[in-house]
Structure 1
Amino acid sequence: MADGKPSTSDPAVLDVAALERALRRRVDGEVRFDAGSRGAYATDGSNYRQVPIGVVVPRTVEAGAEAVAVCARFGAPVLSRGGGTSLGGQCTNTAVVIDWTKYCNRLVSVDAERRTCVVEPGIVLDELNRQLAEHALQFGPKPSTHSHCSLGGMIGNNSCGASAQAYGKTVDNVRRLEVLTYDGARFWVGATPDAEFERILAAGGRRAEVYRGLRGIVDRYLGDIRRGFPNIPRRVSGYNLDSLLPEKGFNVAQALVGSEGTLVTVLRAELELVPVPSFDAILVLGYPDICAAADDVPHLLEHCQPTQLEALDGRMAQLMREEHAFLDSLDGFPEGDSWLLLQFTGDSQESVDEAGRDLLRALGRSEDDKTVAFSDDPQREQRMLKAREAGLGVTARPPDDRETWEGWEDSAVPPSRLGDYLRSLKELFTEFDYDHPSLYGHFGQGCVHTRIPFGLKSAEGVARFREFLLRAADLVVSYGGSLSGEHGDGQARGELLTRMFGDRLVAAFGEMKALFDPDNRMNPGKVVAPYRVDENLRLGPRWRPDSHATHFGYPDDQGSFTRAVMRCVGIGNCRTHTGGVMCPSYRATGEEEHSTRGRARLLFEMLGGHADSAVTDGWRSKEVRDALDLCLACKGCKSDCPTGVDMATYKAEFLSHHYAGRLRPAAHYSMGWLPLWARLSRVSPRLVNAALHAPGFARLGKGLAGVAVQRQAPVFAQESFIQWWRSRDVPDPDPADPRAVLLWPDTFSTYFHPGVAKAAVRVLEDAGFRVAVPARSVCCGLTWISTGQLATAERVLRRTLDVLRPWIEAGTPLVGLEPSCTAVFRADAPELMPENQDVQRLAAQFRTFSELLLNDTPDNWRVPSLARSATVQTHCHQHAVSGFDADRELMRRAAIDADVLDAGCCGLAGNFGFERGHHELSMAVGEQGVLPAVRQSPPSALIVADGFSCRTQIEQGGTGRHAMHLAEVLALGLQENAPADHPEKLADRPTHSLRDARLLTAGALAAASGCVAAVVALCKRRRR
């Protein structure tokens, strides 16, 4: 069959190959039916998993509509997907997934006067609000996933967030929708006055059929709709039949909001906008427990109308402290074991401050009370609100080794009954032995979030999970509440809807579904005629993942690679586009497969355990290899992922198994063994540089080495740091000397940029330290780890430990200059050799340059003052592992006005940006933030970057700027502050720019050219 009609509409016998061919021929987009793409989209943020038939990424809205038309001709189910963070299983299905987020993400138009805008479904909320900022407008609802959730997804789920306290749910902010039915009808819907309704009927066609059918459903079930929908702020469950009531204006757009892609495909949306508040303040109230906090909510609402009224309990605070997360947020909280956070906004600071103080007076409390914290400092407010916003990530992987899951994570009740509901819910937890789940949420609207330690890996655990959900559904209904107050039904709550709405209203939902989608091809099995809550589980009693012997020890995951991979629960923070580091490859490509979450999904599929696993060849999987190939191993996810996924480590582990006993890519031998080649360069660095930069020969060499031809090879220094150090002939201090410090001679600061290490020596000696350098060659094994040559890396580390043993035993501080090497000793080495006590000691003794100078210097030493402005790029491993607070403080003391970029990864990332096939992505990542920021820096500003990769990318990225290590900056300060006749004043300023290094090798290049010419002439004479 070509483009013709399918012989059957049953997905089980769908002609998938013909469907794929037709989609490729007809759709302007990326059509993917490969195992890798299907595996990356096999689940969302829920407990459920269904491998899709294929994935379509349309380039335009029209192309997306064409994809639906092709699927309809074949009878293929369709699932529209946004950010894929749904917790109810709405975004996983055996269907053709249409991902709108990569291309269909435009703000189409803005009408600032009417406060409306039109958007495409793939636009992310934060990006929409960024573009609306010039109009001082925003879209009101703001879920905690605002940095990566799409408006199409928000419309599908009827999303809310904390700001719904002031602005309502998504349904309250949608004016019109352009929708497409599965059978091809396309039209705009909204509120429908009687005259408009009659015009639609008179026009006839499919649209008239839909409107007539909807009116019939309302007429037949009018009493049920008026009685059966709980009148509470947070009712998200079920279809919005109440929006079709006459008093609601027969609003078809609002009736379709929250239908989770089961009725129509949303192509465009016209949204209501609200002004951006000019001023705000936050009031935090402490309580002895979360139930007491909930009891106070109705009383608070009697006296104020806050923009947000959020809650978190002592259990969440405990988890934050145990995980060392968001501690700066908790520092602003008052005394108590649970807290309510109220935000006030307005047109003046005086009005919002007075609103908070008025409430305190009404409560008989004051700002001086120990259980009260009041702030109108925006930065402090954001820190405190982040504690609440971080709930899902903090509770997803508690450090007590329990696994917590969604399933009953967003029930809602009338705020007036919230305290009693929480007590009953706690009793239910106790009955089922689900000990101590955290309770938090949008308490001003009665919405409760929690994650529960369901046992989803055994038949007994799954049976209890099902029984709990049935009991919990009856409980929330008994309080006049809703199964879902924010996340929707999907599969998690679809089966439970009869317990909330009764048989007649659920039958009405079925009629609405049949009206729009009579063949049940739009996201089937969700909301209407749903799968059971215990079907399609991502785990379940039949899940049998393969066991894997690994190189890394995974000490935080009970030594299990499987548990490590399962850290990803689908939150989707790796799909953000600004701030932090994670995930540079997703930011550059917009590809789910190249997000941290997408890679984790593929690794999960690789583990096996399901009969329909998308990835079937384990460690040898080409699909997993291709997904990991564009992972920069920046480790940004290790710190930025709320659950601590460390994809760089997983990548190294995978590569070690994938290439075991096989020939590796050439780059693994060239750059993976860089420390060895660097040491060999000492034989004749001039000739090595000449060869690396000679036209023709360099291109050939790059081809053989697997290096991108667009890259310039770094230049080896004429004199390495070790050679310079030995020429000083200064005896090493005794390791036990309290002033002794061992300077780590990393490959980059030793052989390429020795000026960095020399500058560090100058500064450390000025600070009173007695500097030592290892007498024998040492290496942290970084390049072997990053290329997955883990057995070699371990041998290198063991040899290094032998050399360092006297210093380790003496407890001597070791100081690192290269952030990636520091990260090896702080993180990678302890995980690679978790039982080796010397590795653990070394990790504790290893300092960054800034940490040592701040914490271990004599009190009388003063940081050399430079009084300069600087643009500072934080190395990804600094951000993720060692932290940057010490560097900030050191620069402050040096009177450096530092603009520390929050622009993400530089894009070079060690060997990644040098490898063949990575140059384009590497530069795309750099151009997203770092490189433009450097170009825009004032000529007088210093460019500071401690990472060799960052400095190289800045110099090779067309910025025209030379980047310095902080050690060089401080050495420059010493030089500028020294007396005129001081030797320091006369010392050469450290330099390692690519331009200057090339000048150093010009003579060698000329000599090499002369040699080549002589050889050619000799050959010609011999031929004659």
Structure 2
Amino acid sequence: MNFKHLKNNFSGQLFDDNLHRSIYSTDASVYQEKPKLVACPKNEADLKQLIQYATDHKLSLVSRLAGTSLAGQCISSDIVVDIGRYFNKIININVNQKTALLQPGVILDDFNMHIKKHELFFGLNTSTSNRCMIGGMVGNNSSGTTSIKYGVTRDKVISLKCILSDAKTVEFKPLNYKICLKKSKQNDVEGKIYKDILNFLKDKDYQKHILKYFPKPEIHRRNTGYAIDELVKYYNQTGYINLSKLICGSEGTLCFITEIKIQLDSLPPQHSSMIVAHFHSVDDCLKAVSVTMQDDLFTCEMMDDTIMDCTKNHSEFKHYRFFLTANPKAILFLEIRSNDKQNLEKQTSNLLDDLKQNTSSYAFPVLKDEEIKKAFKLRKAGLGLLGSMIGDKKTVACIEDTAVALKDLQPYIKEFSGLMKKYNQKPVYYAHAGAGELHLRPILNLKDKKDVEDFKSITHDVAILVKSYKGSLSGEHGDGIVRSDFIKLMLGEECYKFLTQLKFSFDPHQIFNADKIIKTSHNFSIDKKLRYQSKGVLHKSFLNFSAEKSLLHATENCNGSGDCRKTELSSGGMCPSYHATKNEKDTTRARANALRQYLTDPKTLSDQAIKEVFDLCISCKACKRECPSNVDLASFKAEWTYQYYKTHKRPIRDKLIGFNDSINKLLQPGAGVYNYFVQHKFWSKTLKKPLGFHQNRSLPQLSQQLFFNYLKKNKVESKSKTPKIQTIYLFVDEFTNRLESETGRDAVELLTQLGYEVKYLKNKPSGRALISKGFLKQAKVLAEYNIDLYKDIINEQTPLLGIEPSAILGFRDDYLRLVDDIKVAEKLSKNVFLVEEFLSQEIQRGHISSNQFSEESCEVKLHIHCHQKALSNSKITFDAINIVKNAKVSIIPSGCCGMAGGFGFEKEHYNISMKIGELILLPAVRNSKPQTYILANGTSCRHQIKDGSPKRAMHPVSFLRQMLK
């Protein structure tokens, strides 16, 4: 299809290339359909052009915000409109009236951070809050964990500015009958809408049908069809008609939304406690809900053992299981809040008494402060964690947010469980127990024809069961593709007729998200356009993906939940390139899905398209830890790069970076001459240009003495001045050895003066740069050698320590995918540590004291290497530095520094590299006091700080060595 005319007059971006169309072909649902065009409008004029174009060419427009919808709302074969890319401004905050006017692309958590200074917040707390956009919340009528206190999005929306199907801008807000009557006489789409709405409100028969077929009034979470019941309720209560209440939950099927006015709340009570009630069965857990809901809870959330089991071996979430006792089958998170500490203690005590006396709970740990945050991280990760199930069987979203009245929850779930037995299912149960809505998921293989049939049959049977309780088939996730087939069944023929009439009043040409909620073209149905396909080829990979079953299965773990779309304002580092560009193409999700589609059918995407989508992946490994589904993009990129260059010519620059240690070895005898040239302005530029390095990036200098030579010359194995506490081996990485041997000397002197015997072996380089550039055969040789060298020497009593995180932590990560004998590698990895990890442990054991260090007062700002954050944690370095009694230590809340080894040198990547650094790290360094110590344990991080600020950073071991008495 030719979009040339549209492109000529469009201010934003339009993409009709195969890569972007593939990236936008999925959301967080089980569906996949490649659109003809992806549009990122910059203004209302762009949106109006799209409407006109869609009308002229009989196309459908699908509004997309964060793309985290679970029911397929964002899927289209026509035009996907990424409104969130540019419509993301906060227009006004009215503190006195507690209202905000904003564009639909504003992210919930970022918005709440922004207005916290006014002691206000938007009270709905979705599990996707760090990336979901408020416009998407309106489209889906989202709610979240706090709905029992703050309601749903519809309750908070005051007015909406919208563009209708005739390209006219309107505002939907509370209007009295007289004004609505006047509008109904207009000869345009808005007039037709008000005319039909007024006729409906006068028709008592329709309202009888609503009372008969719509969910029970006490069910607050209700997202089945259009909210005409809420329209009637609002009109009867206030005498006003507010069509913004109707637009909420309409999933972009009625109009474009450009501005949203919402009601804000005062910040929640400052003190909180949480009881995590443990149960031996789901049934016992559900029986307790109605009991605990009498205790004025702030949140009441449930999680079953299926999700808890997914956390056991997860690098991030295994640390948040601290409160679990004796493997419960289900738990309830019961949070209480109060501004009065005494009142909080009293409420907590009353709730504990209720649990002990009136429920079957067997354990009641009480959590406070940071413990609550960790527990909620576990709960929020529920969806993503389910994506990490190994193999083709996955938990499937189709009946995942049915809602019933609270009094009906336990008998409903009992019947539901019986129904699941008919299908040999042990479903997953989690989420909003206190609101009468559990996320229920069958476990199915949607590559298998029989399971696809069960997928449809289960949804149909559950719809009938929900209807028998007069519940809502969707409590908050909406109808989309997966549930639109069942709306007529749920609401009855007459109600469905009016919903259809309403759709045509708003959208006579069916241009807004066609075939969702109201079935017109029948292009979509629950069992068509499925994402996972049986025809995928299990390619033989060089890296070992047996833990995930195969590389293809590893890519399929990405369920689209979009955790990688959180911004730099949220905690964590995923995903640095997305933080810098805000382009969907640069998310972990986009890369994983593009590779999955390529592996499933290589005809769908070219090699060049995959090369493009991986281009800005800097292999920081943040996704390995922070993605709940364990998507390991660094390994995907290394594997794909290796495979790609089996049939393509390697750039010389890749070889220079990958084999930098070998090249540095050749240059080492002339280190002084080399260093002169790389520091000289003219010669440095002359060198960088043919190598493809950016002119503004400084080149690394060689150490005058190799670290290996220092160790040999100084016979460090006999240097310990105090009685030996323990013998350790020091891994000599290629960066410390040739580029920063002074850091190695500091590490040796620190350890020996603290009483440790330092030994070393003539190990090979770590192969870090080789892995990043996809030279996997060469990296494997190094990995096998190093593991064979240390396997019989390293143990609990004699650990292996490393200075450079990206090098030493390869033993825990990359080597486990590279070597043949994984068991030997795993055994060795358990006794391999960063120097700071070891020091932190020794401090805890009492082997190192603050008395051994200076009492000088100083301020320290600490930046942690990405690989440490992914494969260890930041706290160990923080704790090690805090052994200096009067050091005021703070961790810079930065993600990746942006340098990422060779990435930051490369001409075409320099600007992105610096942009990543400028998000948080470099301003924090520049804004620090002149005397502040800047510490960074990554050689690339220190290089970035040197090039991006007037400061110089040192390794933590150098600081500690300096602070020794």
**What corresponds to 2:118 in structure 1?**
135
Q: Residue 32 of structure 1 contacts residue 55 of structure 1 at CA under 8 Å; is this kept in 2?
A: yes
Q: Identity, % of aligned pairs?
A: 28
Aligned mates of 1:116, 1:564 — CA distance in 2: 44
Distance apart, 1:614 and its partner CA: 4.1
Structure-2 change in CA distance of 1:342 and 1:804 (3 Å): closer
Aligned mates of 1:457, 1:362 — CA distance in 2: 47
**What corresponds to 1:562 in structure 2?**
552
Note the alpha carbon deviations across 1:30-51, whole angstroms, 9 max, x for none: 1111111111111000000111
**What corresponds to 2:736 in structure 1?**
749
Distance apart, 1:360 and its partner CA: 4.5
Structure-2 change in CA distance of 1:494 and 1:476 (3 Å): same
**What corresponds to 1:667 in structure 2?**
653
Note the alpha carbon deviations across 1:228-265, whole angstroms, 9 max, x for none: 21121211111111133241533211111111111111
> Is 1:236 the equivalent of 2:223?
yes
Aligned mates of 2:725, 2:92 — CA distance in 1: 67
Amino acid at match of 1:290: V
1:342 to 320, 331, 334: 334
SS in 1 for 2:538: coil
Distance apart, 1:54 and its partner CA: 1.2
Structure-2 change in CA distance of 1:203 and 1:366 (3 Å): closer
SS in 1 for 2:7: helix
Distance apart, 1:836 and its partner CA: 5.0
Aligned mates of 1:749, 1:626 — CA distance in 2: 33
**What corresponds to 1:691 in structure 2?**
677
**What corresponds to 1:765 in structure 2?**
752
Structure-2 change in CA distance of 1:632 and 1:109 (3 Å): same
Q: How many residues align?
A: 941
Amino acid at match of 1:768: G
Aligned mates of 1:372, 1:748 — CA distance in 2: 50
Aligned mates of 1:761, 1:837 — CA distance in 2: 30
Aligned ranges for residues 545-624 of structure 1 at < 5 Å?
545-558=536-549, 560-577=550-567, 578=569, 579-609=571-601, 614-615=604-605, 617=606, 621-624=607-610
Aligned mates of 2:604, 2:551 — CA distance in 1: 19
Q: Residue 156 of structure 1 contacts residue 258 of structure 1 at CA under 8 Å; is this kept in 2?
A: yes
Distance apart, 1:748 and its partner CA: 1.3
Amino acid at match of 2:557: R
- Structure 2, unmatched stretches of 5+, are none
Note the alpha carbon deviations across 1:454-476, whole angstroms, 9 max, x for none: 12111111111111111111122
Aligned ranges for residues 189-228 of structure 1 at < 5 Å?
189-220=172-203, 221-228=206-213
Larger Rg over CA atoms: 1
1:638 to 624, 628, 631: 624
Aligned mates of 1:29, 1:946 — CA distance in 2: 41
SS in 1 for 2:860: strand
Q: Residue 553 of structure 1 contacts residue 832 of structure 1 at CA under 8 Å; is this kept in 2?
A: yes
**What corresponds to 1:111 in structure 2?**
94
Amino acid at match of 1:747: E
Aligned mates of 1:420, 1:229 — CA distance in 2: 20
Note the alpha carbon deviations across 1:749-793, whole angstroms, 9 max, x for none: 111111111011112212333222323x61111111000111121
SS in 2 for 1:676: helix
**What corresponds to 1:6 in structure 2?**
none
**What corresponds to 1:97 in structure 2?**
80
Q: Residue 707 of structure 2 contacts residue 745 of structure 2 at CA under 8 Å; is this kept in 1?
A: yes
Aligned mates of 2:667, 2:854 — CA distance in 1: 36
Amino acid at match of 2:213: G
Q: Residue 733 of structure 2 contacts residue 808 of structure 2 at CA under 8 Å; is this kept in 1?
A: no
**What corresponds to 1:658 in structure 2?**
644
Distance apart, 1:333 and its partner CA: 5.3
2:264 to 265, 273, 297: 273
Amino acid at match of 1:161: G
SS in 2 for 1:418: helix
Structure-2 change in CA distance of 1:54 and 1:484 (3 Å): same
Aligned ranges for residues 674-685 of structure 1 at < 5 Å?
674-685=660-671
Aligned ranges for residues 144-543 of structure 1 at < 5 Å?
144-220=127-203, 221-230=206-215, 231=217, 232-245=219-232, 246-247=235-236, 249-284=240-275, 285-301=277-293, 303-323=294-314, 325-332=316-323, 337-360=329-352, 371-375=363-367, 377-398=368-389, 402-435=393-426, 437-529=427-519, 531-540=524-533, 543=534
Note the alpha carbon deviations across 1:115-139, whole angstroms, 9 max, x for none: 2111111111112212222222222
Structure-2 change in CA distance of 1:810 and 1:255 (3 Å): closer
Amino acid at match of 1:238: G
Amino acid at match of 1:102: R
Q: Residue 555 of structure 2 contacts residue 592 of structure 2 at CA under 8 Å; is this kept in 1?
A: yes
**What corresponds to 2:922 in structure 1?**
931
Aligned mates of 1:78, 1:836 — CA distance in 2: 50
Q: Residue 652 of structure 1 contacts residue 786 of structure 1 at CA under 8 Å; is this kept in 2?
A: yes
Structure-2 change in CA distance of 1:723 and 1:482 (3 Å): same
Note the alpha carbon deviations across 1:495-551, whole angstroms, 9 max, x for none: 1112211222222221111111122221112111152210111025xx411331111
Aligned mates of 1:521, 1:826 — CA distance in 2: 52
Distance apart, 1:287 and its partner CA: 3.2
Structure-2 change in CA distance of 1:466 and 1:449 (3 Å): same
Note the alpha carbon deviations across 1:787-816, whole angstroms, 9 max, x for none: 011112112333444555664599852211
SS in 1 for 2:303: strand
- Structure 1, unmatched stretches of 5+, are 1-15, 978-1024
Structure-2 change in CA distance of 1:513 and 1:667 (3 Å): same
Amino acid at match of 1:538: R
Distance apart, 1:205 and its partner CA: 3.0
Q: Residue 280 of structure 2 contacts residue 330 of structure 2 at CA under 8 Å; is this kept in 1?
A: yes
Note the alpha carbon deviations across 1:906-932, whole angstroms, 9 max, x for none: 111111111121111111111111111
Amino acid at match of 2:65: G
SS in 1 for 2:80: strand
Amino acid at match of 2:282: I
TM-score by length of 2: 0.93
Distance apart, 1:954 and its partner CA: 1.0
Aligned mates of 1:324, 1:810 — CA distance in 2: 21
Aligned mates of 2:270, 2:537 — CA distance in 1: 55
Distance apart, 1:29 and its partner CA: 0.5
Distance apart, 1:823 and its partner CA: 2.3
Q: Residue 412 of structure 1 contacts residue 481 of structure 1 at CA under 8 Å; is this kept in 2?
A: yes
Aligned ranges for residues 901-980 of structure 1 at < 5 Å?
901-958=892-949, 960-974=950-964, 977=965
Aligned mates of 1:429, 1:323 — CA distance in 2: 28
Aligned ranges for residues 37-116 of structure 1 at < 5 Å?
37-116=20-99
Q: Residue 314 of structure 2 contacts residue 630 of structure 2 at CA under 8 Å; is this kept in 1?
A: no
Structure-2 change in CA distance of 1:163 and 1:205 (3 Å): same
**What corresponds to 1:1007 in structure 2?**
none
